[in-house]
Amino acid sequence: MINVTKTFLPDQEEYLRYVREIWDRGYLTNNGPVLQQLEAELKEYLGVDYLYFCGNGTIVLQIAIKALEITGDIITTPFSYCATTNAILWENCTPVFVDIDPKSFNINPALIEEAITPATTAILATHVYGNPCDIEAIEIIAKKHDLKVIYDAAHAFGVTYKGKSLLSFGDLSTCSFHSTKVFHTIEGGALISNHPELDRKLGLLRAFGHKGDESYEFAGINGKNSEFHAAMGLVNLPHVPEIIRARKEVFAAYDSLLDWNILYKPEISKDIEYNYAYYPVVFPSEEIMFKVMEALRIEDVIPRRYFYPSLNTLSFMPRQIACPVSEDISVRVLSLPLYVGLPYSDIERIAGIINGHLLL
């Protein structure tokens, strides 16, 4: 079976060397030495000043909202994973959806200002598939209306924008290190900031608000991660360049084989070095998408409807806001299998199945 992704696993012995050291120390969590080493190496790799390694890519969104003391309405995208809006709801804020740009699939900055009201306090935008939002336009709007900016950069590890890590923009950026990502720690996530005044606050929020062993500064949460997860990150981090190179080869193969007279995919920004996180294709109709999906399933190929559904259509959203572009793309898009080691022959077979089922 060919799944939409396959977790990159390093040499087992590399990982077990760290595991044995952790075992011998008996120090398994609570900001241990392996975790601190991973944070230091991630900061150096990304060229950022402040980074906290946390439990997953959802808790970091919640901590970001809390750290910036955001309340009320948060303008956000309907085209993302549900974690983006779930974090907003869990922090007792209200997601206000703004439709997406039909070329980039990111939040459309031209529509943001008309959604701003006196209740608006922040923008939470996703770099969809690791493709940057219009950072400059969002920054201008945020400064004009005194709004905080959080970037959900779950897909963006390894992406640089105009020579800087894409994770270094906004008041805070968050990243996911889930096992399906380009860089993973099995489960994990990170908070990234370039603001020294936020650094201490983020550290406290991640660890229950502990100030020393016996006092608390405020109500924090358990956003910590373990030494074992950090060890996987330390072993995987040196492999990121080769992982990206291998994913780029798969990407290029699909590019050369698929029928672009009928299909299309998001336009990748010209100002970036990309990480090739996902390979989404948009079909002419949902009916054709289902036809292709079934043809692939019969051949044991499992793509993913990523992202579906458009989040503004979920029944538990407090406000029903139409986002026709997102709603349209979300029912026609599939992410195709993309991972290190996917053979060219399988890519060729997948493309042939798709091309052969594009007409009703």
Rounded alpha-carbon distances, angstroms, from residue 39 to 110, 158, 320: 36, 15, 40
Torsion angle (degrees, nearest 10) of CA 153, 264, 251, 286: 80
CATH number at residue 298: 3.90.1150.10
Range of the domain at 142: 2-238
CA dist., res. 74 & res. 70, Å (int)? 8
Q: Same structural domain for residues 110 and 221?
A: yes
* Rg from Cα positions in the chain: 21
Q: Is the pLDDT confidence value at 212 over 90?
A: no
Average pLDDT over every residue of 140-158: 98
Dig out the tokens for 27 from the structure: 């120090």
Q: Same structural domain for residues 213 and 331?
A: no
pLDDT band at 266 (very low <50, low <70, confident <90, very high): very high
Q: Same structural domain for residues 306 and 186?
A: no
Q: Same structural domain for residues 145 and 210?
A: yes
Q: Same structural domain for residues 254 and 296?
A: yes
Share above pLDDT 90 across residues of the chain, in percent, rounded to a whole number = 92
* Number of compact structural domains in the chain: 2
Q: Same structural domain for residues 119 and 264?
A: no
Tell me which H or E stretch contains 175: strand 172-176
Decide: helix, strand or coil at residue 293: helix
Strand-pair category, 120-126 with 94-97: unpaired
Q: Same structural domain for residues 81 and 229?
A: yes
Q: Same structural domain for residues 286 and 208?
A: no
CA dist., res. 20 & res. 34, Å (int)? 12
Looking at 185, 208, 238, which one is the last position of a domain?
238
User: Quick check: is 360 in a domain?
Assistant: no
Looking at 238, 273, 303, which one is the last position of a domain?
238
Q: Same structural domain for residues 177 and 260?
A: no
CA dist., res. 122 & res. 107, Å (int)? 14
pLDDT band at 216 (very low <50, low <70, confident <90, very high): confident
Residue position matching structure tokens 């407090």: 318
CATH number at residue 102: 3.40.640.10
Report the number of secondary-structure helices (H) and strands (E) in the chain: 11, 14
Q: What is the pLDDT of residue 298?
A: 97
pLDDT band at 297 (very low <50, low <70, confident <90, very high): very high
**Which residue, among 85, 130, 133, has the nearest Cα to 313 in the 3D structure?**
85
User: Quick check: is 90 in a domain?
Assistant: yes
- DSSP 8-state secondary structure symbol assigned to residue 210: B
Q: Same structural domain for residues 207 and 295?
A: no
pTM metric for this prediction: 0.96
User: Quick check: is 317 in a domain?
Assistant: yes
Q: Same structural domain for residues 185 and 203?
A: yes
Dig out the tokens for 69 from the structure: 């003391």
Q: What is the pLDDT of residue 21?
A: 97
Rounded alpha-carbon distances, angstroms, from residue 20 to 13, 25, 28, 164, 199: 10, 9, 11, 36, 32
